[in-house]
Amino acid sequence: MIAEASAQSDEQLLAGCRRGDEGAWEALVLRYQRLIYAIPRRAGLDEDAAAEIFQDVFATLLESIETIEQPSRLQAWLVTTAKRKTWRTVGRAKSLRPFASEEGEGADEMYDLADEGLLPDEALTRLEEQHLVRAALAELGERCRALLQMLFYAAEPPPYSEIAAALGTSEGSIGPTRARCLKKLLDALKKKGFS
């Protein structure tokens, strides 16, 4: 049931959620859990705070399910909701931060350090792109998905001999198969609006 629901579009899943279809809810949560959870984590919140925001986002979705006017923009709605809830949480945490005393030199040095990380919008864009790639990869056949994960998801890609053994094919067929699989991935990304 969940496998069927996970193949549906956001619009179809949202319609199923409105009807009370439990499988649609599970598929929707599974589809977006990693993206939504990553937003507060990238903002520096701990796992508990991120989990609370994740739950709050989906509770808000449940409360607002009938008022969402553009089901095709559900991902944007979820991301925006997660960003706002994260900002509120971060804002509350900053307002509780103690002021440094004048006597304790260097007490507030950690607040003066430059942040070398990505700006929030850049980090969010990267998270959304990663989510699109994962979703497109999930649409590929098992063979392509396994090959691309071995080649691009490992810190050190295994040698072609190991890949060939794992896939039950010859080493010479890996290059052409990789090209076909990347083409399929690109097509799936284009269908999702990735440019």
> What CATH number did the domain enclosing 32 receive?
1.10.1740.10
Overall number of domains in the chain: 2
Cα separation, 185 vs 70, whole angstroms:
26
Asked whether residue 123 is domain-assigned, the answer is no
Do 17 and 92 fall within a single domain? Answer: yes
What are 78-137's pLDDT values in tens digits? 988 998 888 888 877 665 555 444 444 544 444 444 445 555 667 777 777 888 888 888
What are 127-181's pLDDT values in tens digits? 778 888 888 888 889 999 899 888 888 888 888 899 899 999 998 898 899 899 9
Distance of CA 36 to the CA centre of its chain: 6
Asked whether residue 189 is domain-assigned, the answer is yes
Full residue range of the structural domain in which residue 182 is found: 140-195
Asked whether residue 82 is domain-assigned, the answer is yes
